[in-house]
């Protein structure tokens, strides 16, 4: 049992590191800041690969910052991404890695607008913005068959208590018909271990067109877009819970944008 648990921890660490490594080619050295740095998964790689840079991690959660405090050449700051903590035009790179959806979850579009506006202000004229987050699909109904009674109970809890949006669905025999984004949202909640937090958090919140729209309004010019599917081992885990009528979808997006004057 212990070995299995350790293998899962190692796999998750390797997956997290791989996701962070995807960001590195787009980072502009110099002064780098990650908004919503959490416990420092990405900061640790930035510290390793950009040793000559000044690297800042910003997060509102004190406990997360405490876990990241031992990283080399990292400055940690407690605050919100929408707050104007820094002087204008001081950073070469701003990063949001799986943090913008949390801002949306609690502050909706207005929070995202403030966060992107703040990123624009603190970036230098030729600065780079990197967003790596979940990607919602355009409206598309799908079919989902839940394999266990416990998962059925979790789905009912999800449909009734999820706060960011109303979950609409109907049942046809053993199939549940619902929007693809809502199906993926349910699957991303996993085992509902931290449901009091998860029920407030929307992972699939913007389509690619919506990301583009918000970035353009904030003053950014999109330079690069890369979409990713679930890692195969993650997708296989999800298919242990349900049967669905679609293949492993493009669920993540890496967007690189430049500050346009």
Tell me which residue range forms the domain holding 147: 141-188
Whether the CA torsion 203, 204, 208, 212 is positive or negative: it is negative
For residue 13, tell me if it sits in a domain.
yes
Q: Are residues 53 and 124 in the same domain?
A: yes
For residue 237, tell me if it sits in a domain.
no
How many domains in the chain?
2
CA 131, CA 120: separation in Å to the nearest integer?
13
Burial 129-160 (b: 16+ CB within 10 A, else e): bbbbbbbbbeeeebbbebeeeebeebbeebbe
Task: State the pairing for strand pair 91-97/74-78.
Answer: unpaired
Question: Looking at per-residue confidence, does 68 or 202 come out higher?
Answer: 202
Q: Give the tens place of pLDDT for each residue, 78-102.
A: 999 988 899 999 999 999 999 999 9
Q: Give the tens place of pLDDT for each residue, 4-36.
A: 444 444 466 688 889 999 999 999 999 999 999
What's the angle, vertex CA 185, arms to CA 12 and CA 131, rounded to 5?
65
Q: What is the pLDDT of residue 7?
A: 46
For residue 95, tell me if it sits in a domain.
yes
For residue 184, tell me if it sits in a domain.
yes
């Amino acid at each position: 049992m212990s070995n299995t648990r350790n293998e899962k921890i190692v796999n998750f660490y390797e997956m997290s590191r791989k996701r962070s490594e995807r960001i590195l080619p787009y980072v502009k050295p110099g002064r780098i800041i990650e908004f919503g740095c959490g416990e420092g998964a990405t900061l640790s790689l930035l510290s390793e690969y950009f040793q000559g840079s000044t690297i800042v991690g910003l997060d509102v959660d004190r406990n997360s910052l405490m876990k990241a405090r031992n990283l080399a050449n990292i400055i940690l700051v407690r605050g919100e991404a929408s707050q104007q903590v820094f002087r204008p035009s001081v950073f070469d790179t701003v990063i949001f890695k799986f943090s913008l959806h949390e801002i949306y979850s609690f502050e909706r579009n207005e929070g995202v607008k403030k966060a992107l506006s703040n990123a624009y202000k603190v970036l230098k004229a030729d600065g780079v913005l990197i967003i790596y987050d979940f990607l919602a699909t355009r409206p598309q109904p799908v079919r989902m068959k839940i394999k266990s009674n416990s998962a059925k109970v979790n789905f009912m809890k999800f449909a009734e208590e999820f706060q960011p949006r109303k979950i609409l669905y109907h049942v046809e025999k053993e199939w549940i018909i619902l929007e693809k984004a809502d199906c993926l949202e349910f699957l991303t909640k996993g085992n509902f271990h931290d449901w009091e937090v998860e029920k407030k958090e929307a992972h699939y919140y913007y389509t690619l067109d919506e990301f583009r729209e918000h970035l353009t309004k904030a003053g950014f010019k999109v330079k690069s877009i890369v979409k990713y599917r679930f890692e195969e081992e993650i997708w296989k885990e999800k298919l242990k819970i349900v049967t669905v009528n679609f293949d492993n979808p493009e669920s993540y997006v890496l967007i690189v944008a430049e500050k346009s004057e």
